[in-house]
């Protein structure tokens, strides 16, 4: 242990004697390690942000739809009632969209009219600034009621105190007017610019019960269901649930194995997105780690120069009885310490850089990314920098150790 301490002291002394050259040698290691940590930390943080932002929009949701339109395959209300009773299902919703227009004292607006049964509000997980969602009783009675968002309330009326107010809507496809009473205003949640861009829509959105549309237009919307949504329980197996629903529908409508009923699970989509994000992060980190190779070559170069400069010292030590192993270990120790110091600086700069980039992204309003500093990544980076020092220090150390003491002493 005492001998190891002497080797470390000698290594630090020789490194301190050439501070400028040593710092330049470390640059490759510093840049490589800091780049890998910065990229991995930001990449992991961005993946978490996307999962959180998108997860709040559709976590646990599964869309089922018909791949081949035919009346005999249309889904019935009885089908939905049976599916509601299946284990692992929290809610079932049917949504339809209609284009329309609405006019207030402020302006004329395009409107997207969304018809949804009250059960469908479970999918949105909305909080209400004013009022609340319409009830099952109101929907079944065909009451002309609606829910709008805080943002749309400000567009239409310049105020959010609009519960109880009426809004006239024209359904474009049928050129039919309907007067709706606002019963709820949903609070607009703060989201990143990315999610805002995904949901960007210049029109206002009006949510109302399908029965109100049926009453106005004189149609039965439940006799032509070709798409519906399922919200699963948190602990339910999405794949098994999807299989059970499809099996039931295929059996009921006599199309077993014909792939008439297909589904799209939001959880599967998120798993794919996370996988792609992780692959991109790893690939970019791999490219950044190439600079570590360059840094390793720099370490080898500086150690070769050091061997040349200290040839006489090596000769004297060998003449005094220093073993080949001790000479080799000394130079190997120097190379390892250089890379460890460079690695430590790189880790600090990588962590600070990741936090700084995330702060800048937040200031620009592009999203709240939290840098995820993985201890595994830090440990791997530290170990990698040590291996680089050992690997690229072996050749110069061997060259020094194999010198003939006579030749070394004659060296000018």
3-state secondary structure at position 165: coil
CA distance 190 to 201: 16
3-state secondary structure at position 126: coil
pLDDT at 243: 93
Kindly compute the dihedral angle of the four CA atoms of residues 106, 130, 209, 98, in this order, to the nearest 10 degrees.
30
Residue keyed to tokens 């599967």? 268
pLDDT at 195: 42
CB 392 within 8 A of CB 300: yes
pLDDT at 84: 92
Across the 412 residues of the chain, what is the mean pLDDT of every consecutive 10-residue run?
A: 67 73 79 84 81 70 88 89 92 90 91 91 85 93 93 93 94 88 85 45 85 81 81 87 93 90 84 81 75 73 70 67 71 79 88 88 76 81 73 70 60 52
Q: What are the DSSP calls for 17-66, one per residue? A: HTHHHHHHHHHHHHHHHHHHHHHHHHHHHHHHHHHHHHHHHHTTEEEEEE
How many whole angstroms from its chain centre is CA 203?
29
pLDDT at 295: 72
CA distance 205 to 135: 19
Q: Please, what's the b/e burial string for 252-262 (b: 16 or more CB within 10 A of its CB; e: otherwise)?
A: ebebeeeebbe
CA distance 24 to 110: 63
CA distance 141 to 304: 89
Task: Tell me how long the chain is.
Answer: 412
pLDDT at 79: 92
Q: Is 272 exposed, middle or buried (0-12, 13-18, 19+ CB in 10 A)?
A: exposed
CA distance 380 to 398: 27
CA distance 145 to 206: 10
pLDDT at 194: 40
Kindly report the backbone phi and psi dihedral angles of residue 350, in degrees, each rounded to the nearest multiple of 5, phi listed first. -65, -45
For 168, residues 6+ apart whose C-beta sits below 8 A from its C-beta are: 102, 103, 177, 178, 179, 180
pLDDT at 218: 76
Radius of gyration of the chain (CA): 34
């Amino acid at each position: 242990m005492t001998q190891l301490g002497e080797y470390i002291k000698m290594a630090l002394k020789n490194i301190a004697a050439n501070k400028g050259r040593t710092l330049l040698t470390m640059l490759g290691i510093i840049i490589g390690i800091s780049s890998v940590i910065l990229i991995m930390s930001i990449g992991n943080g961005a993946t978490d942000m996307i999962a959180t932002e998108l997860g709040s929009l559709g976590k646990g949701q599964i869309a089922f739809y018909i791949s081949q339109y035919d009346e005999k395959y249309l889904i019935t209300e009885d089908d939905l009632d049976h599916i509601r009773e299946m284990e692992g299902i929290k809610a079932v919703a049917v949504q339809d969209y209609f284009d329309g227009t609405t006019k207030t004292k402020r302006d004329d607006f395009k409107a997207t009219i969304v018809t949804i049964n009250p059960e469908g509000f479970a999918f949105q997980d909305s909080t209400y600034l004013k009022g609340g969602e319409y009830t099952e009783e109101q929907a079944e009675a065909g009451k002309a009621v609606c829910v709008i968002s805080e943002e749309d309330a400000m567009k239409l009326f310049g105020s959010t105190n609009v519960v109880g107010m009426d809004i006239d809507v024209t359904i474009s496809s049928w050129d039919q007017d309907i007067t709706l009473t606002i019963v709820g205003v949903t609070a607009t949640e703060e989201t990143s610019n990315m999610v805002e861009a995904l949901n960007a829509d210049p029109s206002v959105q009006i949510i109302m019960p399908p029965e109100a549309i049926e009453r106005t237009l004189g149609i039965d919307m439940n006799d032509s269901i070709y798409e519906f949504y399922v919200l699963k329980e948190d602990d339910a197996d999405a794949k098994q649930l999807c299989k059970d629903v499809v099996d039931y529908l295929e059996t009921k409508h006599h199309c077993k194995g014909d792939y008439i009923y297909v589904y799209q699970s939001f959880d599967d989509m998120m798993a794919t997105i996370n996988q792609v994000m992780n692959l991109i992060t790893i690939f970019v980190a791999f490219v950044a780690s190439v600079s570590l190779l360059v840094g390793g070559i720099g370490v080898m170069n500086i150690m070769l120069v050091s061997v040349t400069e200290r040839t006489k010292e090596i000769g004297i030590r060998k003449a005094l009885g220093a073993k080949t192993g001790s000479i080799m270990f000394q130079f190997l120790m120097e190379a390892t310490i250089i890379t460890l110091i460079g690695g430590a600086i790189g880790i600090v700069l990588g962590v600070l850089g990741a936090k700084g980039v995330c702060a800048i992204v937040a200031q620009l309003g592009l999203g709240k990314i939290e840098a995820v500093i993985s201890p595994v990544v830090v440990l791997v980076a530290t170990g990698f920098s040590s291996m680089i020092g050992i690997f690229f220090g072996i050749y110069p150390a061997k060259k020094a150790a194999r010198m003939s003491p006579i030749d070394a002493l004659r060296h000018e």
